Amino acid sequence: MPGFRNVFERPEVASVRRRDDGVLEVRVTGLACDSICVRRTEAALRSLPNVSAVRFTPDPDVFLVETNGPPPDPSAMARVVHSMVVAPWARRLLTALAECFRRPRS
């Protein structure tokens, strides 16, 4: 679920599954908010070739992607999700700091 604690994670496409009705379920982790992050991710996924519609379902953080042709490659989805991150340098810094605090001290 999007939340402030996710500011310490890089948004990632965790899984892509094609349903029987042809809709792709794209689970994205690491979104920091329900508004801007979700809208930017929807727009990023919608920019891919053959994507006709994208909508977000908050439980379990899945974007439903409808296509009107061959579905986009999962690596292309990951690329556009990474491209939508606001201030990527800050997210990388926060992620690195979080990793430092997660490591066990000897």
Per-residue pLDDT of the chain (106 residues; tens, 9 = 90+): 566 666 667 788 999 999 999 999 999 988 877 788 889 999 999 999 999 999 999 877 899 999 999 999 999 999 999 888 766 677 678 778 878 877 776 6
Token couple for 29: 């982790």
Coil, strand or helix: which one is 11? Answer: coil
DSSP state, 103? Answer: S
Q: What is the pLDDT of residue 94?
A: 76
Report CA torsion sign: 81, 83, 86, 88: positive
Q: What is the pLDDT of residue 3?
A: 63
